[in-house]
Structure formats: structure tokens, C-alpha cells
Amino acid sequence: MLDIGRCRVFDLINSGDLLSVKIGASRRIPEQAVRDYVARLVDGAA
């Protein structure tokens, strides 16, 4: 959805900019978390 690389996604997760949840051994990012992140980017650019 964001068209960014895996390393960048993990950087965003580690910095707290992108919310994720751990399910078993997998890390998942809820769709709403992506929408919230993009909204913050748009608000910051305005």
C-alpha cells in the first residue's frame, strides 16, 4: 500500500510511527494504522 521497502517499514514500526501487532511469529499492520500514518503525513505537509 505504501510502496516502500521492508526495511523502511520496520524502521517506521521501531520508531513508533506505524502501529503493528504480533500474531504468532508474524508481524501485521492493520489497514487503519496505514491510513492513520498517511493522514499524519498529509497533515504535516499542509
Write the pLDDT tens digit of every residue in 4-32. Answer: 999 999 999 999 999 999 999 999 999 99
Identify whether 1 is part of a domain. no
What is the structure's pLDDT at 1?
83
Residues of the domain holding 24: 6-45
Q: How far apart are CA 24 and CA 40, in angstroms?
A: 29
First-residue to last-residue Cα distance in the chain:
22
As a three-state string, the secondary structure of 3-44 is CCCHHHHHHHHHHCCCCCEEECCEEECCHHHHHHHHHHHHHH
What is the structure's pLDDT at 45?
74
Q: Which amino acid, residue 32?
A: Q
What is the structure's pLDDT at 36?
96
pTM score of the predicted model: 0.81
Identify whether 14 is part of a domain. yes
Q: How many domains does the chain have?
A: 1
